[in-house]
Amino acid sequence: MKKRADGRYCKQILIGYKPDGTRRMRTIYGKTIKEVEKKLSEIHKQIDLGINLSDDLTVCQWGDTWLKTFKTDIANNTYVRYSGIVRNQINPIIGDLPLTGVRLHTLQKMINELSEQYAPATVKKIKDVLHQMFEQAVRSQYIAINPAECIAIPKFHQKNREVISMEHVKIIEEFCKDYKHGTFVMTLLYTGMRRGEILALRVQDIDFENEMIFVTKAVEFICNTPNIKTPKTPKSNRAIPILNPLIPYLKKAVEGKEKTEFVFTGYDGNLYTKSSIQRLFKAFNRDYNRYINRSKAEEEHETVHFTMHQFRHTFCTMMYDAGVDVKTAQDILGHSSVNVTLDIYTHLSREKKNINIDKMNSYIESQLKA
């Protein structure tokens, strides 16, 4: 043990050997001898557990190794998202830290900061990536415990999920009767299917006799190119009842097609690329706005902007309003857990109660004024 000129104590410890056989040492610092001895004790425990301390890996280096070695079997879109999180959110903040030096308070501070910049779902995904990264580091014997184990997600104010009003649902039905992409829009509206599931739909997946759609595949985009894969989760393999308003649209769409052909394709007969399906829906929003404003004065024009996922949530809302039980709704929507569906149903229930309370307040106020 040595005392430095700055008053701190230090001691060197052998933690391993370099590839050329020379010793790899680590210097431990502390304000007191007791502090140095405590740190030495922790390092000895790690060595006794078989933790590899001789590789001075940074979080950035480990993140790259984790992705390339342990995440090669996940879906391409998931890999792209994970690598984006490592590159854009994790590395700029803690990438230069030694892997063995990361502590819970460091990660908690990072998550707190990121929660002020990103949506709740994104922050939860960052936390998940951190947990997976450090858990694999534990399994690989680089660290003794997972510092991401007890990260707490800051509380967020729940944003209202946007639902397409029944007024617009009626106009969309009217608009789609003669619209070139009407079948695609109506399938979004009356099945609750995800975009990729609709694009992977084949003629043989539609059973008109029993009025069912069978979801067995989905399209993911590798850069811009469509690729057929299994659905998002095991629960995504499901059967969806064909509602009456959708039947004529689907029958017209599959007319003259072979059973193995896809229902929705571009003008060239091939699957939509990511950019082409985005253009299609952008055109739908543009054309729909022209339609609803066609007979209005310019100062009365309204502008609406729908997203494809908004149609899925609207379908879920329709099921709630129709009294469909939560377990059936989960099966139809393909949610991996009933808690996801239950969360939406609970949120909708609160909204309905608030509306009814507002009605009661308005009624009482009108009676008191009478």
pLDDT of residue 218: 92
d(CA 172, CA 177): 9
pLDDT of residue 156: 67
Q: Which residues contact 149 (CB under 8 A, 6 or more apart)?
A: 104, 131
d(CA 238, CA 230): 12
- Whether residue 174 has pLDDT greater than 90: yes
CB 144 within 8 A of CB 46: yes
pLDDT (average), residues 192-211: 94
Which of the two residues, 46 and 166, has the higher pLDDT score? 166
Torsion of CA 63, 65, 66, 72, to 10 degrees: 130
**pLDDT (tens digit per residue) in 301-350:** 889 999 999 999 899 989 988 888 989 999 999 988 888 788 877 777 77
Which tokens hold the place of 309?
């996922």
Q: What is the pTM of this model?
A: 0.61
User: What is the number of other CB atoms lying within 10 angstroms of the CB of residue 359?
Assistant: 10
Q: Which residues contact 344 (CB under 8 A, 6 or more apart)?
A: 161, 313, 316, 320
pLDDT (average), residues 201-206: 95
In terms of Cα–Cα distance, which of 134, 139, 164 is closest to 150? 134
Q: How far is CA 242 from CA 215, 249, 252, 323, in A?
A: 12, 11, 14, 17
**Phi, psi (degrees; rounded to nearest 5) at 211:** 55, 55
- Side-chain-side CA neighbours of 198 within 13 Å: the count stands at 23
- Whether residue 370 has pLDDT greater than 80: no
**pLDDT (tens digit per residue) in 226-278:** 999 887 677 788 999 999 999 999 999 999 888 889 999 998 889 999 999 99
Residue 32 amino acid letter: T
Q: Which residues contact 59 (CB under 8 A, 6 or more apart)?
A: 90, 91, 94, 95, 96, 97, 98, 99, 102
DSSP state at residue 144:
S
The average confidence (pLDDT) of the chain is 87
User: What is the number of other CB atoms lying within 10 angstroms of the CB of residue 319?
Assistant: 20
CB 85 within 8 A of CB 114: no
d(CA 331, CA 318): 15
User: What is the number of other CB atoms lying within 10 angstroms of the CB of residue 150?
Assistant: 10
Length of the chain: 370
Relative orientation angle of helices 338-369 and 326-333, to the nearest 10 degrees: 130
- Whether residue 287 has pLDDT greater than 90: yes
Strand partners, 225: 222
d(CA 366, CA 327): 41
Among 91-100, 115-124, 163-172, 263-272, name the one with the lowest average pLDDT.
Answer: 115-124
**pLDDT (tens digit per residue) in 68-90:** 999 988 888 889 899 999 999 99
CB 286 within 8 A of CB 272: no
pLDDT of residue 204: 94
Where are the strands (E) in the chain, listed by range?
2-3, 9-17, 23-30, 206-207, 212-215, 218-222, 225-229, 238-241
Radius of gyration of the chain (CA): 28
In terms of Cα–Cα distance, which of 168, 138, 134, 167 is closest to 148? 134
